[in-house]
């Protein structure tokens, strides 16, 4: 098994508050992992650590085969420079609850921004690939639309195309449908379902238990900065063993 993410006892505190209290988890290449859990349980913090938007305080984290944030020399660890961390961060792309598109750029311009500015790709080639990606998320006809001209569901699909344009090894989704009107959730989940079946490695924080049941290879339930339960969707969602998992699922379904 090739692990794209290997987290060993990772910890993260904000002041005296421990948001992550020792998270150990491997995510295999091509795996779709869904993380569920109550608000404040550390789900976003965990994704932010994987994407190195946050630095861990303890434990060790490997992403795409590299120790995140450090270089190991013998038994010594050396912190990587900003530039080296920026390079490591390219292995992952994150899709947020709020789409954060550039408002003054069209859908196409939003998608090519990273490839052209960060990856220094040829603009014409980047545009061609961006059109293909926008078609893939069902927005081939909206390449020239500005974010205000798009619904929330369409904006989130542009954000997914933008994340894919960076050709990451790992896609991270942090409650990608939570900010959407209910009637727009389905179109975004459909795109994510399509991605999942394409073989890209995904970690998805979501309250959409139906989606998790259908698409996830594995479901993890987090509470209080810890992984409380993990297993197949069937195990965790239909036959949860832990009382906290049972209560959470009952509350979400209710």
Interface residues with ligand ADP (CB under 6 A)? 14, 17, 19, 37, 39-45
Query: CB of residue 170 vs ligand ADP: minimum separation in angstroms?
Result: 18
Query: CB of residue 17 vs ligand ADP: minimum separation in angstroms?
Result: 6
Q: Are 208 and 185 in contact (CB under 8 A)?
A: yes
Which DSSP symbol is given to 213? H
Q: Are 97 and 145 in contact (CB under 8 A)?
A: no
Query: CB of residue 96 vs ligand ADP: minimum separation in angstroms?
Result: 11
Query: CB of residue 136 vs Mg ion: minimum separation in angstroms?
Result: 27
CB nearer to Mg ion: pick between 43 and 218: 43
Q: How many CB atoms lie within 10 A of CB 8?
A: 14
Q: Is 92 in the site for Mg ion (CB under 5 A)?
A: no
Query: CB of residue 120 vs Mg ion: minimum separation in angstroms?
Result: 33
Which of these segments, 44-52, 110-118, 131-139, 238-246, binds Mg ion (CB under 5 A)?
44-52
C-alpha distances in Å from residue 121, one per residue of 86, 104, 130: 17, 21, 12
Q: Are 145 and 155 in contact (CB under 8 A)?
A: no
- Report the residue number whose CB is nearest to Mg ion: 44
Q: Cα 60–66–72 angle (5° rounding)? A: 70
Q: Is 45 in the site for Mg ion (CB under 5 A)?
A: no
- Both tokens assigned to 78: 């050396």
Which 159-188 positions form the footprint of Mg ion (CB under 5 A)? none
CB nearer to Mg ion: pick between 44 and 110: 44
CB nearer to ligand ADP: pick between 48 and 218: 48
Distance of CA 168 to the CA centre of its chain: 11
Q: Cα 120–144–158 angle (5° rounding)? A: 65
Which of these segments, 36-44, 74-82, 219-227, 245-253, binds Mg ion (CB under 5 A)?
36-44
Query: CB of residue 44 vs Mg ion: minimum separation in angstroms?
Result: 3
Q: Is 206 in the site for Mg ion (CB under 5 A)?
A: no
Sign of CA dihedral 39, 67, 65, 9: negative
Which DSSP symbol is given to 236? I
Question: At 112, phi and psi to the nearest 5?
Answer: -85, -10
Q: Which of 44, 64, 156, 201 binds Mg ion (CB under 5 A)?
A: 44
CB nearer to ligand ADP: pick between 21 and 167: 21
Residues in the site for Mg ion, rule: CB under 5 A? 43-44
């Amino acid at each position: 098994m090739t692990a794209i993410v290997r987290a060993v006892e990772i910890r993260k505190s904000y002041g005296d508050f421990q948001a992550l209290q020792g998270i150990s988890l491997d995510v295999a290449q091509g795996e779709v992992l869904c993380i569920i859990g109550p608000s404040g349980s550390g789900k976003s913090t965990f994704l932010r650590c994987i994407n190195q938007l946050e630095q861990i305080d303890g434990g060790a984290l490997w992403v795409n085969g590299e120790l995140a944030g450090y270089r190991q020399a013998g038994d010594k660890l050396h912190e990587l420079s900003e530039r080296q961390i920026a390079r490591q961060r390219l292995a992952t792309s994150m899709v947020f609850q709020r789409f954060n598109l550039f408002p003054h750029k069209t859908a196409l311009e939003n998608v090519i921004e990273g490839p052209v500015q960060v990856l220094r790709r040829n603009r014409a080639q980047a545009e061609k690939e961006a059109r293909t990606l926008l078609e893939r998320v069902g927005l081939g006809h909206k390449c020239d639309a500005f974010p205000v001209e798009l619904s929330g569901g369409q904006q989130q699909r542009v954000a997914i195309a933008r994340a894919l344009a960076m050709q990451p090894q790992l896609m991270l989704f942090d409650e990608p449908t939570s900010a959407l009107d209910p009637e727009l959730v389905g179109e975004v989940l459909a795109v994510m379902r399509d991605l999942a079946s394409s073989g890209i490695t995904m970690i998805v924080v979501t309250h959409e238990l139906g989606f998790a049941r259908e698409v996830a290879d594995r479901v993890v339930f987090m509470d209080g900065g810890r992984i409380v339960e993990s297993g197949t969707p069937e195990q965790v969602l239909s036959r949860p063993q832990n009382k906290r998992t049972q209560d959470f699922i009952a509350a979400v379904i209710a």
